[in-house]
Structure 1
Amino acid sequence: MMDRLARYERLSGGGQKKEEIRIRGLLIDKASRRVFVNDKEVAFTTKEFDLLTYLASNPNRVFSKDQLFEQLWGMDSLGDIATVTVHIRKIREKIEIDPSNSQYIDTIWGAGYRFKV
């Protein structure tokens, strides 16, 4: 019976893994737009989720504030890059044990931010 169920799930696509990112105690479920920190769900705004997901989907790559703003807000920054800084701070407060000693998002001074793996 288990063989039939496993075969059915494999053929029907029911056994496919959800699109998620797991890094240490962090789980980002892209399909349901939910974030879990150490198995506890944490609420995120739309832009916070999008920014976290974008960085986590491109680990160890440095993005300038301008690049992040343009990617997520879809326009030139024109002085609005402080928005990125505020969102990064809020994300850190939600996912980090100690936001001042980040284990996920590094600030690369003079360059931007990097999600470290």
Structure 2
Amino acid sequence: MKKVLTIVVALGAVAVICGFLFVHNEVTDRYNPLISKQDMYVQINRDGKHLSQGGTEYTLDGYNKSGKKGEVTFFAGGDLRKNAYLKVDTKGKYVETWEEVQLDDMPKEVKSKFEQ
């Protein structure tokens, strides 16, 4: 019995580790210790998707502080102001918070991407 329990626990641990390594979504990225947090900067340059339960989901291209491009998906309680700039706190695909910022408050590498 002890041997079976050890095998079950070991298989469970392997499954969790594989989930962290190979599955990337909001839930796994939120708790994955191997993924670091980073700020992404986006511009509200297209309409969001209105959700049936209320609110709006946005999927936008953004840039991290070194200017590397990435895609960010996040939820807002309603429509956001067109052409506004946001700083989005992310951890992989998980978005913790977002706030509106001014273009001048962004890192130089990011600012140059939006000014093109």
Taking structure 1 as the reference length, the TM-score comes to: 0.29
Larger Rg: 2
Higher relative contact order (CA 8 A, sep 6+): 2
Taking structure 2 as the reference length, the TM-score comes to: 0.29
More helix by share: 1
